[in-house]
Amino acid sequence: MPAAVSSGGSFGEPEGPPGGSISTLSPEDRDLVDRLRSGDEPTFLALVEKNHRAMVRVAMGYVASEAVAEEVVQEAWIGILQGLDRFEGRCPLRAWMFRILVNCAKLRGGREARSVPFSALESEDEGGERRPIETFRPPDDPRWPGHWAQGPERWADERLADAEALVRIRAEIEKLPPNQRQVITLRDIEDWDSVEVCEALGISEANQRVLLHRARTKVRQSLAGWAAEVAP
């Protein structure tokens, strides 16, 4: 078994006695942890079903292929099961799970010499067509960071509901630098809040805002160009 999944204490929480306190968790998380600790297999399978694809998408930010990302996720699930008794509830269960995943992915990515640190923002590709920055709200906007300041012409709301548009959005997200892709995936696809994302990925709130703003801006720029091309 890889060292990365040998102990729950190696993923951001200190070693503790089995059955660590979870009194600070939400009632839903406490109930879920209790059922998982008791060996409730249907609960575990439901947890895997709910989170597996998001975990693969995050892992792909650190490794070379989806196949390797799947292996990383399997390692992470082993680490989650092994660490449950030591989980002390210092963050939501889902954030703790993704910290385990990120640690497994970083170790695997390091072995592949592909680890991409979140702090390396200056290395991101800024090429390609760009709309003026005033087109979008700033990353510190209190309500809609990174959203359109004013919607593009001829971009009707119903266009976003088109299957083709949704496919385009997914494709554009896949093109993003890994750190941006991870943040926008958790925020806008998985509907996580910023606190959970920061806890899961081990980044600051400010860094999270910048990454999300850049990711949303790039996706919207591409969608704006596509919408103009397909407009009647």
* CATH number, position 89: 1.10.1740.10
Q: Are residues 15 and 98 in the same domain?
A: yes
Q: Are residues 143 and 196 in the same domain?
A: yes
Please provide the average confidence, as pLDDT, over all residues in the chain: 76
Nearest to 91, CA basis, from 20, 36, 40, 140: 20
Q: Are residues 170 and 89 in the same domain?
A: no
pLDDT tens profile 160-171: 556 677 778 888
Q: Are residues 174 and 220 in the same domain?
A: yes
Distance between alpha carbon 137 and the CA centroid of its chain, in Å? 22
Q: Indicate whether 121 belongs to any domain.
A: no
Q: Are residues 93 and 142 in the same domain?
A: no
Length of the chain counted residue by residue: 232
Q: How far apart are CA 22 and CA 38, in angstroms?
A: 14
Nearest to 137, CA basis, from 209, 223, 190, 228: 209
Question: Residue 87 above 80 pLDDT?
Answer: yes
Give the CA angle between residues 144, 148, 153 to the nearest 5°.
155
Average pLDDT over residues 184-207: 90
Name the band, by pLDDT with cuts 50, 70 and 90, for residue 33.
Answer: very high
Q: How many CB atoms lie within 10 A of CB 180?
A: 25
Question: What pTM was computed for the model?
Answer: 0.64
Q: Which of 61-65, 67-71, 79-83 has the lowest mean pLDDT?
A: 61-65
| Number of domains, the chain | 2
- Between 210 and 111, residue with greater pLDDT: 210
Q: How far apart are CA 92 and CA 22, in angstroms?
A: 10
Average pLDDT over residues 182-187: 90
Q: Are residues 225 and 132 in the same domain?
A: yes
Name the band, by pLDDT with cuts 50, 70 and 90, for residue 188.
Answer: confident
Q: What is the pLDDT of residue 70?
A: 95
If 0-12 CB within 10 Å is exposed, 13-18 middle and 19+ buried, where does residue 109 land?
Answer: buried
Question: Residue 176 above 70 pLDDT?
Answer: yes
Compute the half-sphere exposure of residue 88: CA atoms within 13 Å on the CB side of its CA. Answer: 11
Q: Which of 25-39, 57-71, 112-126, 192-206 has the lowest mean pLDDT?
A: 112-126
Count, in order, helices (H) and strands (E) of the chain: 9, 0
Average pLDDT over residues 129-155: 52
Owning domain of residue 13: 3-111
Q: What is the pLDDT of residue 135?
A: 52
Instruction: Write down the residue that tokens 């407009």 correspond to.
Output: 231
What letter would DSSP give residue 213? H
- Mention every residue, 6+ apart, whose C-beta is less than 8 A from residue 159: 165, 227
What sign has the CA pseudo-torsion 203, 172, 103, 40? positive
Distance between alpha carbon 41 and the CA centroid of its chain, in Å? 25
